[in-house]
Structure 1
Amino acid sequence: MKRWVKIVLIALSLFIFIIVGYGIYLYVSVKSTVNAIYEPREPSEPSESIQTTTNTISTDTQGSRTVRMDKQESFTVLVMGVDQRENDVGRSDTLIVLSVNPSKESILMFNIPRDTRTEIIGYGTTDKINHAYAFGGVNMTIQTVENFLDMPIHYYIKVNMEGFSQIIDLLGGVEVENSFSFQYLGYEFAEGHLELSGDEALAYSRMRYDDPRGDFGRNTRQREILKQIIKNALKVTNIVHVKSMIDEVGNNVKTDITFDEMKKFLTDYRSGLNQIETFELNGQGKKINGIYYYVIESSEKERVHQLIEEHLQTVENQ
């Protein structure tokens, strides 16, 4: 064999070795980083009151909800935006439910208003739903939401509200359509199309007292920002970028989505999620014993339950 051929083959072999080795390093590194934000909820038996006809909800021997991501099954996610400070348990400032269905190429999204009056599961009281986190953290919040919607929650993502700004900056900011001009926390938001940094988006999503629709206006802005975050995140394909993002937000994000499930979602689901639909829960503000609550009637809960259940069903089953 000629000398120059040997040199080329050796160089090519080294190049392949370096590429493969670097790929393995990134894989192990990303897996370790994702595992750092993994925080499983305590296993519990699903409530007997939860009834569903969807074919995507099953349970393992621990009573945990399981999803066959290798079969691209649909699933639900509870996003908790937690206002948590040092030496303070905090409260779930934001509760957003996502129904993800790849067969329909869509995500269904809605807020549960923070002042919603409901039974707090495991605490033996009726209170504002955002108090569940203060009383019992992630597990009590999920169980309370499941009972309220009469629908299982497959996964959760808990984000410290301050962490939202980091996530948004790492994704290159967000673009929103602002329906009216206002000022908040030193920022001025003009009416119309806006390009927001992380800090600006956080302030934009938190204002409610100067909003004609109060908490509902704030919820609408939060959903709009989350829609943009999801769309921007689904465009991320570079594994190095994924790792740097997780490294940055690791202290502010916890989830029970495993590394393998995250891989399946990024590889098998991402290309099929083209639509994000939103809606609001209808209710009425009332004062009960001097405390303001948002009261949602059972008929409205049933309507929302049906919307989620229908959205979770595969196209073939409709």
Structure 2
Amino acid sequence: MFKRKHNTDEPNNKRKRNLFIYIGVTLLFFLSIGIGYAAHIYNKTEEIVSDSHEDIGRENNTSNLRAEEVDPIEDNVSVLFIGVDESEKRDYETASRSDALILATFNKEQNSIKLLSIPRDSYVYVPEIGYNTKINHAHFYGGPKATIETVENFLNVPVDYYVRVNFEAFIGVINSLGGITYDVPFEIYEQDSNDNADAIHLQPGEQLLNGEEALALARSRKYDSDIERGKRQQEIIKRIGKKATSASTIFKLGNVLDAIGPNLKTNLTFDEMKSFLTYGINKNIAIEMINLDGSGGFMDDDLWYYVVDEESRASVQEELREHLDLSISNKNTTDFAKDDLGDKPSY
């Protein structure tokens, strides 16, 4: 049993960012490559990807869970999207925690994408440090490499590529597009990206939102349910995508790329990234969100954790491996519930 204690730490509204921010911005970046037909946009995109390229020291840039190298042009592959809370105010560089983790698997034959959201407070074994803690701590101790190793150990699913972005890209993209129109459902007071309390005040009704305002609306969770918040997030992404692909926005793509570029790190090359366009331009693409069931509470260290249900983890592991056309292994990640104090978490 978890310790009975009021949870004042989860969710931590000052640090937790919504996963859609990072995935949405990155997908928009991929889209920009596809519609950036003009030579200067194409060259600009290639330059940004080149500047953002960062290997993590794996042999042939290949996961240890792969028997051989993969090619996203021909193979089913996975991409780990890592959202971090970095900005000029929070100049953490590598020593920052991940605020959102999404493992995406891409299946060529099925023309489908599966997106797994991994709760940031999940209690998992972190190989980099040799004991169990929150999964978002892995990035603090070892950046993308440690995060990838932790996710692979947790799910027994190879992570072929990673993309790391921060929430400043989201703000910059919306501002570059000239804002987005949204029907705000209720009056809200929310903090801004610099954690200034109640700095964003929105009245209900259809209106043009800038980046800070859209971020506040997307992050807000105290006025309704998580389900309704999820619907808002999905709708905001649709609004961004619709405006980004409109004819009036073509000449703003340079500014959009400028907003994303400084906030992006990835081990994808430009040619590899272009290969994902087959998913983006196909209107019949199937995108499925999947989640990990579990329960949360405080442990003996007085910190709040989310403990993933073992059956749920095994089911998700099987689903993702099957989607990647990998054998369904009976192997369980042996260090899932092992910490430095014993074989099971202490509640």
TM-score, normalization by structure 2: 0.65
Give the equivalent residue in structure 1 for 2:290. Answer: 279
Indicate the structure (1 or 2) with the bigger Cα radius of gyration. Answer: 1
Give the equivalent residue in structure 1 for 2:71. Answer: 67
Match of 1:86 among 91, 108, 114: 91
Q: 5+ residue gaps in structure 2?
A: 1-36, 192-198, 327-347
**Percent of residue pairs identical:** 35
Match of 1:246 among 249, 257, 277: 257
Give the equivalent residue in structure 1 for 2:273. Answer: 262
Counterpart CA distance in 2 for 1:306 and 1:176 is 39
Give the equivalent residue in structure 1 for 2:303. Answer: 291
How many residues are aligned here?
A: 275
Mapping of residues 99-248 of structure 1, within 5 Å: 99-171=105-177, 173=179, 182-185=188-191, 186-188=199-201, 196-208=209-221, 210=222, 225=236, 242-248=253-259
Partner of 2:105, secondary structure, is strand
Cα-to-partner distance string for 1:156-184 (whole Å, 9 max, x where unaligned): 11112222211233456557787876431
The amino acid across from 2:309 in the alignment is E
Mapping of residues 305-316 of structure 1, within 5 Å: 305-313=317-325
Deviation at residue 139 of structure 1 after TM alignment = 0.7
The amino acid across from 2:98 in the alignment is S
**Change in CA separation of 1:27 and 1:312 when aligned onto 2, cut-off 3 Å:** same
Partner of 1:250, secondary structure, is helix
User: Contact 1:187–1:200 (CA<8 Å) still a contact in 2?
Assistant: yes
Counterpart CA distance in 1 for 2:39 and 2:266 is 24
The more displaced of 89-98 and 191-200 is 191-200
Counterpart CA distance in 2 for 1:102 and 1:232 is 27
Counterpart CA distance in 1 for 2:282 and 2:155 is 26
TM-score, normalization by structure 1: 0.71
Deviation at residue 213 of structure 1 after TM alignment = 5.3
Give the equivalent residue in structure 2 for 1:8. Answer: none
Mapping of residues 3-22 of structure 1, within 5 Å: none
Q: 5+ residue gaps in structure 1?
A: 1-21, 51-56, 61-65
Cα-to-partner distance string for 1:71-123 (whole Å, 9 max, x where unaligned): 3x332221111012125622111112222334333322232111110001221
The amino acid across from 1:140 in the alignment is A
Partner of 1:59, secondary structure, is coil
User: Contact 2:174–2:210 (CA<8 Å) still a contact in 1?
Assistant: yes
Counterpart CA distance in 2 for 1:228 and 1:275 is 19
